[in-house]
Each structure stands twice: as C-alpha cells, then as structure tokens.
Amino acid sequence: MADPTSSLDAVLAHVDDQIDASVERLFALLRIASISTEPAYAGECRKAADWLARELDELGFDADVRATEGHPMVVGHQKGKDAPSVLFYGHYDVQPVDPLSLWENEPFDPKIREENGRNAIFARGASDDKGQLMTFIEACRAYKAVRGSLPVNVTVLFEGEEEAGSASLGPFLDATADELKADIALVCDTDMWDTETPSIITMLRGLVGEEVEITAANRDLHSGMYGGAARNPIQVLSDIVASLRNPDGSVAVAGFYDDVTELPAHVAEQWQRLPFDGAAYLSDVGLSMPAGERGRSVLEQITSRPTCEINGITGGYTGDGFKTVIPSKASAKISFRLVGNQDPEKIREAFRAHVRARVPSDCSVTFASHGASPATTIPADGAFLTKALAALTDEWNREAAIAGSGGSIPIVGDFKRKLGMDSLLIGFAQTDDRIHSPNEKYNLESYHRGIRSWVRILDKFAEI
C-alpha cells in the first residue's frame, strides 16, 4: 500500500512545480471584466462563467453554465467515491473599477509587483474573489495530475452576482437543493488572521435593521412661537436613542441577552494567545477607548458579542445657515448585530416595545424594517473543522485560528436554511488587499500556499 504521506507530498510538490502555470491561468480569468453591477458587462460575466466551466471540464468535472434571471451560475460535480462530500462556493463577478485614475496598472491587465516586501498580483478580482476560488480549482488540478482523482466528492458552485446582491442565488438554491447538498460547504471569500496565521471563520453575526420615525405636531413649528410648549420629536428621539445603552456599554433593551451564548472555553483561551492589539485597532481610526460592554475585549466586542448601533439620524433643518424650526418629524436608522441563538424577530419586537414605552402620548411612532438574519455558528468541535484546522496548521506552521466575523455573509445562512449544511469560511486574503478599491491585490504567497492549503484540507477530509 502506498504511503499516504508520500502521496500527499507528491501532490504538494506538483503544486510547487506548476505554480507559474497556475498564475497564468489566474491571469487569464482576471483579464475578463466580469463586473456584475453594470449591464454593459453582461457579456463579460457570461465569458467568465464559460471560462470556468471549461476549466472544470478539463479536470473531469461534470460542469455546465446555468441560466438565471441575472448572471449565470457555474455548477460542477465530481462524485462517486465512498468518501465525504463538499460543496465549494466562490463568485466570479467583480466590483466596478472606479476611479480608474488611481490604478497603477490597468485593472484587467494583471501585474505582479512588490509591496511591503511581498510579491502580489494586482488586478480587479485578484483577491475578491477570483484568486481565492482559483486556489481550490488549482488544488483539484494537482490532485488529478498526481493521483488521477480527488480524495473526496466535490461539487462547486460559482455565482456571478455576489457583488450585485445575489438576487438570483436564493431561487437557484431552492431549485437545486437536492443536487447541491453535501456534508459541508466551503466558502473562500474571507481573510487570514494575519499574514502568517491562517484562520477559519466559524461565527458570523446576524443582523436586524430598523428605521423609527417619531411624529409630534402636525406641521413644522416656529421655535419662537411654540418653543418650550410644543413637543420636539428630535428631543424625544434623542432620549429614546440614549436609552438604548446602559452606562456600562451593554444594550438596555429588555431580554436582549436572553439567547446570547458565551464563547467555548477553548476558543476563548485561543483568542487570548492570538496576535490582536485592541488598542492599536482603535488607534488606527483615531480612537482610544472601547465603547462596548465593559469587561469584554475589543476582539470580543467586534466579533462575538451583540451590538446596537445608530447608523443615521435625521430631523429638522440640516441645510446651510440656520432655521429656527421645531420639526414635525424625526427619524433614526438603527441596527443590531446578533450572536448565538438570538432570534431576529424577537429582537425587533423587543426594540419596538422599548421605543413605544418611551413615546409621549401626544406623539406617534412608525417603524420600517430593513431586513433580518440570524447569527450563524459552526460547532467548535466538528470533524470537518477539526481536520481543516489541522491541515492549515501543517501548511502554515502556525496554529490556525478559530475566528468570528463582525459582519454578516448571507450565503452562509442560505446554505444552512435552504440546504441544511454548515459552512467553513476559509480564505487566504489579507486585510490590506484593497478589495472594492483601486489597486486591489492578492499576495503571491496567498495564492501559492492557498492552493497547498486546499490540497491538505481535502486530504484530511478523506479521513472522516
């Protein structure tokens, strides 16, 4: 029987020997201007989808391009083994390139340049998300070249509307749920912890968006004639907004923390060891004092704890000069980031009850919803997570981090709700890759070792 370690080493060696050819294939994809938000580039989006389907075909996938109401999906299957099955997701569409004058090279003419002592690929989509998805394709290519087959059953799904809101994705998942189901989903559109430390995001905060409007008088009033006697809706709204936080930084809405869970002990212990400087994180944006829950680290506050934030407030005269008016209406946009088992609708109703209890009897309040999604948490001791962490640690010679994301990634929730699958978010981007901005980059090391990392991960999954 062949030594599995030597077999893995042969695949990794093939990756190293063929890295220049791998980069050239990435360059070919980067040259396609697949900007999903601009109708003029619809043909380029189709071109990118066709290119990916051809690459998958060459690797023995049963692959095709699927039409949607928007840009097409690319689906490929390579199955038949008595082994675990994975669904790999990425997106081939990219952001617009404006302002073009700030680019140091043409956005769709990729170049390798040195920056901060590292060689990097500069092009639109280099990091978000073409470079990331190509790391997986190239890992599959290396396996096929050396072993003749993949170690696990693989389905890939590449969409072309992620940067435009993924309008077609939900209906597509509904229609193809049985076809796409696997043991685990793999999402590549994420960062490393830092340049030397790989990570897997296992916690994504949910989101509730609310808009509240307070109405007092039936028209705007002269502040000299009515000031002091008439209710001012800006004052009412300001008092309500101020009441949402306790002096210790916690959220004051009744029942808000009922379904909040603590970090698993081993994750909390690892976070103590990880290189993260909370003071520097705030200093970078000109701040010095954490404003969240007292007794919680900055890292906890931005990733694993729930929040309430005021995103906008409007009322009265806001133009140039001055107008002595008591407005009739005032409004605010307020968002809640959710964690653990917090129910978005329960939080929404608790917030509205909090507001209604503080509205004077001669005023009225209306609410508008701006979406809701629950938090997503992957079990910290799952077999796929454990194997992936070990594989990344082996490749990077640094303990792979279990990470949380302060933001929300809708595709992960869709996979859970529509396909019944957990997701592992594993990517090799860096926080300075300038995604969505001019001079987007992807470190050459991220690309090369990203391919090697997927080789190791798939190899470990075959042991499950």
Give me the DSSP letters along 186-232: EE---B-SSSS--EEEEEE-EEEEEEEEEE-SSS-EEHHHHTTTS--
The answer for residues whose C-beta is within 8 angstroms of residue 135's C-beta and 6 or more apart is: 188, 428, 447, 450, 451, 453, 454
φ, ψ of residue 227 to 5 degrees: the values are -60, 135
Q: Which of 60, 62, 38 is nearest to 160 (CA)?
A: 38
- Distance (Å) of CA 195 to CA 56, 386, 404, 427: 30, 22, 17, 12
Confidence (pLDDT) at 227: 95
pLDDT-based confidence at residue 3 (cuts at 50, 70, 90): low
Helix and strand element counts for the chain (H, E) = 14, 18
SS3 content of the chain, % helix, strand, coil (to 5): 35, 25, 40
How far CA 26 is from CA of 30, 37, 103, in Å, comes to 6, 22, 20
The 8-class DSSP code of residue 164 comes to G
Q: pLDDT band at residue 1, thresholds of 50, 70 and 90?
A: very low
Could you tell me where in the chain the CATH 3.40.630.10 domains are found?
4-204+375-461
Confidence band (pLDDT; 50, 70, 90) for 2? very low
Q: Give the tens place of pLDDT for each residue, 278-287.
A: 999 999 999 9
Residue 132, amino acid: Q
* Beta-strand runs (E) in 82-205: 85-91, 111-115, 118-122, 153-159, 184-187, 199-204
Residues of the chain with CATH 3.30.70.360: 206-260+306-373
Has residue 107 got a pLDDT over 90? Answer: yes
| CA 168/CA 166 separation, integer angstroms | 6
Give the model's pLDDT for residue 406: 78
Q: Which CATH number applies to 4-204+375-461?
A: 3.40.630.10
Element (H, E) at 4: helix 4-17
**Domain 206-260+306-373, architecture per CATH:** 2-Layer Sandwich (3.30)
Query: Taking all residues of the chain, what is their mean pLDDT, rounded to a whole number?
Result: 95
Dihedral sign of CA atoms 284, 288, 290, 291 in order: negative
Please say if the pLDDT value at position 407 is more than 80.
Answer: no
Measure the CA–CA gap between 313 and 332, rounded to whole angstroms.
4
Question: Residue 380 pLDDT > 50, yes or no?
Answer: yes
- pLDDT-derived band at 5, boundaries 50, 70, 90: low
Q: Which two tokens stand for residue 352?
A: 């509205």
Pairwise CA distance, residues 220 & 201, whole Å = 50
